[in-house]
Chain A
Amino acid sequence: MTTMRGVSDPGARPVASSGAAPLSGAITVQPGVSRWARWIPTTKPKRREQLAGVLTISPALILILGLTLYPVAYSIWLSLLEKHSFFPQERFVGIENYLYLWKDEEFWTSLWLGVVYSIWTILFQMILGVAAALILNESFVGRGLVRAIVLFPYMVPTIVAVILWKWLLNDMYGVVNYWMVALRIVKDPICWLGADHIMLSTIIMSIWQFFPFVLLSILARLQTIPPELYEAAKVDGASALRRFVHITLPQIRGILFVVILLRSIWMFTKFDTVWLMGEGAGVGRFIRTLPVYAYMRTFTYYQAGLGAALAVIMFAILVVCTVIYFRLFREEADIG
């Protein structure tokens, strides 16, 4: 995840991405020189530069640490207590909450449901998002309008989106069922929101709601890829697929890396959409993912300590996965 302090690694990079010699103040090394040579400083980063760097990052740092450090620390502390959500009495129990969860069947079910939900939604959000970005990158009649309307799912408040979908999929008077029966695709209406299909419906709805994020991010990047690269490739006779694989993909790798990371964090901790689709119990039981379970333990079981422990577990899982992710994709994570 990190490179050596004060040293940049220009190394051998594909031509298409950024990364010529970094700005003054850093060390440059020609490819071919022994890798240990990198450790020998030739110039120190100017103090001014360092200070400027720290100064410009400090507002962000102060805000983030100031606003999240206390809540995170509080939650970690809370996870070591047995505390009723309403009442002030608390009892220090150490890791007892974690041991309880280890043996808790509901925990493992919600972990599994959370993983299933996350993986399917992330996968399709990425595929659809990239495909849609490629389409909207080309110019065609009505592009501006399509670009705007395609953001609608992401823009509408979750409650409205869930109401809309619950209604479209309603087994008694929903439009989707009506047409499926009328077109004879199925004989009886499907209970999209019933126990058997609610996970599928929630996944589809989540993909619909969030892939515009991927779309917009990739599109923004695609817009700054110099068109000459494509021209040159076309002249050489490269097909659309080859152009995609050899030009587009390397160019968007950096953004792709971050987008996958962000969407993963978000889908794994997604609460609103899943809760509103199911409310945690009844049918909601079949989409009781980890965030929902954590919420339930705190706000409906009133066991704040267990809820906090679940949040910490979610956090730990994410950290571990992220570290692995960064190790696997060092290049994109490294500085250019």
Chain B
Amino acid sequence: MVLKPGESTRIELTVNSVAHQVDVEARWLLSDVLRHSIGLTGTHVGCEHGVCGCCTVLIDGEPARSCLTFAVQADGAAITTVEGLAASDGELHPLQESFKTHHGLQCGYCTPGFLMTALPLYERAPEMTDDELRRAISGQLCRCTGYAGILEAIRSAAGIEHSRKGDDS
């Protein structure tokens, strides 16, 4: 396959379990395709060189910078964005609920990146040491909260999930 400047190719992205076919140019970043082509603007774009972490999404289940991935590289991949967290009836994901409860956000710009980074690890966060948890989220920058609330939120999310399941039974 060869794609010249200005030419587009059709790629398949499964975003939050919905299949999309999108025409992209080779130089288009995954972050821009999610926001502009698919209209999912929950993925925020901060520094565009991988430092701030705002644009973090899951690519095939693992957190990755969507600003450091060409959309064409993600052809055929399953992407999860922050829009995939809350239930269809609007009920917040336990992680989102926990960020709300523990002052894990203020302006909210960095929040989607924090949520997507925390998503694969919040269930084991209660057993992680402060040091381990800080290191696990060290790739995300927040300029409002001072991080203490964010750590608390990630640590408490599993508890919220368990108490919800308890309520259901």
Do A and B pair up? The answer is: no
